[in-house]
Amino acid sequence: MTYCVAIKLNAGLVFLSDSRTNAGLDQIGTFRKMIIYEKPGDRFMVLLSAGNLSISQSIREILQVEQVKDMDGGEPITIWNAKSMFDAARVLGAAVRRVYDRDAAALKQARVDFNVSMIFGGQIKGEAMRLFEVYSAGNFIEATPETPFFQVGESKYGKPVLDRVITPDTPLDEAAKCALVSMDSTLKSNLSVGLPLDLVVYEADQFQSDRIVCIDDNNPYFRMLHNNWGQKLRQVFDSIEHPVWDDARTDIPLMVAAQRARPLKKITTPEEKLI
């Protein structure tokens, strides 16, 4: 399995992925789930993938040469000449469908689902940054100010901190820290997600990035974040009072009179046991 997250902010974009793949408890592989498509001064795009590794690798290979028709009748569109991220996402969707047409029937005969999900985002000169989540049918949705991040893979463990922290106005470095905390929470709770991690931070209108890092067990910042996050969570937990059942002893009792009835309770009397 895997976990990937991408965040779209007013200041830029943050992309983070793990690199673990599993074929069983004793068969663990490391494959990167992130690829960067960059033409400095013109475009910067990042693709994250989750799901069946053979499918995602095929899509990434085909994406380099895939074309779709120009709606205005011009030359065919590729990710390298697309004038908008929407058109680039169309090319990615076409690559997904190309792999489906080629492999889906054989996979079905082998009782393997056509399972792939992707996050694709970046910026092309002449338009603002955009971020898309692409599904296994090749269709996609776009991030909005109300939903400024996408996750694929094992998303449930890392979502709460993103929900509480991320807004479009979040600074880039703060968002990168939040993404790493989200990943750390996932690593803690799911063995199918693992190091090393790939992190990219892109600043708006730069069309290139030098903030690209691979994070392994020896990375000092990630080790500090992992240790401090666990300690701070424990400190916050310990600072919250234990539940008190007697409302005479506190102004915040757990048991209070409420409109909703208590859970049903089945009482078995000695007479009932004899029936």
**Residue ranges making up the domain that contains 137:** 3-216
User: For the domain that residue 50 is a member of, what is the CATH number?
Assistant: 3.60.20.10
Please check the confidence at residue 250 and state whether its pLDDT lies above 80.
no
- Cα separation, 133 vs 142, whole angstroms: 6
Question: Does a structural domain hold residue 34?
Answer: yes
The answer to whether the pTM exceeds 0.85 is yes
- Cα separation, 36 vs 17, whole angstroms: 12
In the chain, the number of structural domains is 1
Question: Does a structural domain hold residue 163?
Answer: yes
Please check the confidence at residue 258 and state whether its pLDDT lies above 70.
no
Model pLDDT for residues 83-97, shown as the tens digit of each residue: 999 999 999 999 999
Model pLDDT for residues 29-85, shown as the tens digit of each residue: 789 999 999 999 999 999 999 999 999 999 999 999 999 999 888 899 999 999 999
Question: Does a structural domain hold residue 47?
Answer: yes
Question: Does a structural domain hold residue 142?
Answer: yes
The predicted structure's pLDDT at residue 24: 60
Question: Does a structural domain hold residue 170?
Answer: yes
Question: Does a structural domain hold residue 198?
Answer: yes
Model pLDDT for residues 106-158, shown as the tens digit of each residue: 999 999 999 999 999 999 999 999 999 999 999 999 999 999 999 999 999 99
Question: Does a structural domain hold residue 167?
Answer: yes
Average pLDDT for the chain = 92
Question: Does a structural domain hold residue 250?
Answer: no
Three-class secondary structure assignment of the chain: CCEEEEEECCCEEEEEECCEEEEECCEEEECCCEEEEEECCCEEEEEEEEECHHHHHHHHHHHCCCCECCCCCCCCECCCCCCCHHHHHHHHHHHHHHHHHHHHHHHHHCCCCCCEEEEEEEEECCCCCEEEEECCCCCEEECCCCCCEEEEECCCCCHHHHHHHCCCCCCHHHHHHHHHHHHHHHHHHCCCCCCCEEEEEEECCCCCCCEEEEECCCCHHHHHHHHHHHHHHHHHHHHCCCCCCCCCCCCCCCCCCCCCCCCCCCCCCHHHHHC
Question: If you average pLDDT over residues 151-178, what whole number do you get?
Answer: 97
